[in-house]
Amino acid sequence: MLFSELGLAPELLRALEDEGYVTPTPIQQQAIPLVLAGRDLLAAAQTGTGKTAAFTLPILQRLLGAPALSPRPRVLVLVPTRELAAQVAESVRTYGRHLRVRSAVIFGGVGLGPQVEQLRRGADIVVATPGRLLDHMQRRSVDLSGIETLVLDEADRMLDMGFIRDIRRVLAALPKRRQNLLFSATFSDAIRALVAGLLNDPARVEVAPRNTAAELVEQRAHPVDKARKAALLAHLVSSGDWRQVLVFTRTKHGANRLADQLERAGLVSMAIHGNKSQNARTKALADFKAGRVRVLVATDIAARGLDIDQLPHVINHELPNVPEDYVHRIGRTGRAGSAGEAISLVSGDERGLLRDIEKLLKRALPSSVVPGFEPGTASAQERAEVAAPRHAKPRSRGPQKTSADAPRRGAATSGGDARAAQHHSRRPRSQSSNRNGRVPGPR
Ligand code: AMP
């Protein structure tokens, strides 16, 4: 099938041609006609499937078909993270290149002023993260009474991040009659509850059955002392000559510390997390994609929504508290038939987490000890280096500061980055409650 067979306007076909896209992806083939017909949509699709174009193209076409009656926004796209907001807004610009469609992108961690100005000038499409959109609603810098189409992108992640109350407050401000499109990689009870009150006789579209990523990826676990994980990781990267490695840690400080340790082992590494400014994150991602950074160390939240997948190596330096996050993480590798492996470094205290993951996967992960890294062999010095509490603030640790994490750690949280951190820190996220779809209390 070709894009030209989907009934899209010539301006959109031209933009697709500019991009070199000829064949719609499966989600695009299924979703575009349904959205054009005005249906509500419930779509199971992950990043990398072409889902953004699957809603952006038909939405642009519908705007084209019915000219604006007022300067108010007509389409609202809610997304969980700044990165995803920026990427979706970029897609709107790309596909809308030959149309006169105005868009605004709204997310936290940057000044309100330019966003207020964007909204004041008028935007047909607003792409926003829920918290910052609420700020604008409270300031009356955005009027959502003209919204015709609502998109919830990566809805599961928005719920995981504790956005449900914000989402409900946004929904309450929208006109009752509208088109609703919901995209989610997974379908928890919480998502189903949201869907039930939101979607009107939705068409269902599914491109990858639930949790299939887990079956396509070669997975293994290496038991290792917590104190030797960084050394083992450096060993695996060097001895395997891995060139592009995405590593997950549980905490921002853990990400900084690990990136430093890897740097000292001679591996060009960067950490990416919620305390980093937007610019720092964008640059790290660009350097990683271009091969200038060999190891990208990320927290789950920071990695979500990044346009990176089909990576050859994904490493769980620490196992996630939520088994579903494991599936999200390893979904970054081995897509579309390309070979990929996901390796988990498992310390003694993480065995319970591993069991939870295996229960979700309904199979055991092959586990092997790497020679030279047998559990129980960490030296006293190595143990001392990880003894520091994981959540300690870099500057508050005073004389206990160890050589392992002394350099550079403070840099990531200084200056303008503190403001960027507010966006995440303001909203409590209770990892352990995610699985059941319960969300943290009010802000
Ligand atoms: P998404 O799943 O929306 O994050 O898209 C994943 C990537 O696929 C993006 O880099 C898109 O630009 C690209 N893409 C989307 N649609 C197509 C298509 N029909 N053909 C080739 N690439 C596409």
Inform me whether the pLDDT recorded for 398 exceeds 50. no
Q: How far is CA 242 from its chain centroid?
A: 23
Q: Which atom of ligand 1 is nearest to the CA of 87?
A: 4
Q: In angstroms, rounded to a whole number, what is the distance separating the alpha carbons of residues 14 and 187?
A: 35
Return the residue matching tokens 């084209």: 64
Nearest residue (by CA) to ligand 1, atom 19, is 24
For residue 10, pLDDT over 70 is answered with yes
Q: Whose CA is nearest to atom 5 of ligand 1?
A: 50
> Can you tell me which atom of ligand 1 is nearest the CA of 48?
2
What's the CATH code, domain 217-402?
Answer: 3.40.50.300
Please name which of 53, 41, 64, 40 lies closest in space to residue 3, comparing C-alpha atoms. Answer: 53
Selected residue with higher pLDDT from 389 and 83: 83
Q: Let me know the angle formed at the C-alpha of 385 by 383 and 386, rounded to the nearest 5 degrees.
A: 75
Can you give the residue ranges of every domain in the chain?
3-206, 217-402
Contact 183, 51 (CB under 8 A): yes
pLDDT tops 60 at residue 418: no
Question: CB-side exposure of 417: number of CA atoms within 13 Å?
Answer: 15
Q: Candidates 2, 8, 13, 25: which one to mutate for ligand 1, based on the most atoms within 8 Å of Cβ?
A: 25
Question: How many A from CA of 299 to the centre of ligand 1?
Answer: 24
Pocket probe for ligand 1: among 1, 95, 307, 332, the residue whose CB has the most ligand atoms within 8 Å is 307
pLDDT band at 388 (very low <50, low <70, confident <90, very high): low
Residues with CB under 6 A from ligand 1: 21, 23-25, 28, 47-53, 307
Nearest residue (by CA) to ligand 1, atom 6, is 48
Q: Average pLDDT, stretch 291-304?
A: 88
Nearest Cα residue to 442 out of 231, 191, 197, 134: 134
For ligand 1, the distance from its centroid to the CA atom of residue 435, given in whole angstroms, is: 29
Beta strands in 249-329, from DSSP E residues, in sequence order: 269-272, 295-298, 313-316
pLDDT in tens, 240-282: 999 999 999 999 999 999 999 999 999 999 999 878 887 888 8
| pLDDT on residue 338 | 57
CA nearest to 158, candidates 80, 51, 81, 263: 80
Please tell me the predicted confidence (pLDDT) of residue 375: 94
Complete DSSP assignment for 316-349: ESS--SSHHHHHHHHTTBSGGG---EEEEEE-GG
Tokens of 188: 């928890």
Q: Whose CA is nearest to atom 8 of ligand 1?
A: 50
**Would you identify the CATH topology of the domain 3-206?**
Rossmann fold (3.40.50)
Residue type for position 97:
R
Which of 9, 15, 14 shows the shortest CA–CA distance to 32?
A: 9
Q: Which residue has the tokens 């015709």?
A: 148
3-206 against 217-402: fold identical = yes
Q: Among the listed ranges 53-62, 99-108, 131-140, 425-434, which one has the minimum average pLDDT value?
A: 425-434
pLDDT of residue 217: 76
Q: How confident is the model at residue 312 (pLDDT cuts 50, 70, 90)?
A: confident
Closest C-alpha residue for ligand 1 atom 16:
50
Q: In which band, very low, low, confident or very high, does the pLDDT at 101 lie, cut at 50, 70 and 90? A: very high
Closest residue by CA, ligand 1 atom 22 = 21
**Is the per-residue pLDDT at 27 higher than 50?**
yes
Q: Does the structure show a pLDDT above 80 at 316?
A: yes
Residue type, position 56, single letter: T
CA atoms of 294 and 423, how far apart (whole Å)? 28
Residue 372: pLDDT over 80: yes
CA of 302 to the centre of ligand 1 (A): 20
Of 278-282, 390-394, 420-424, the range with the lowest mean pLDDT is: 420-424
pLDDT tens across 126-163, in order?
A: 999 999 999 999 999 999 999 999 999 999 999 988 89
Residues 32-76: pLDDT tens digits?
Answer: 999 999 999 999 987 778 899 999 999 999 999 887 777 899 999
| Least-confidence region, from 106-120, 310-324, 352-366, 385-399 | 385-399
CA dist list (Å): 429 to 10, 296, 306, 425: 45, 23, 20, 9
Share of the chain above pLDDT 90, in %: 58
DSSP characters over 43-111: EE--TTSSHHHHHHHHHHHHHHHS--SSSS--EEEE-SSHHHHHHHHHHHHHHTTTS---EEEE-TTS-
pTM over 0.75: no
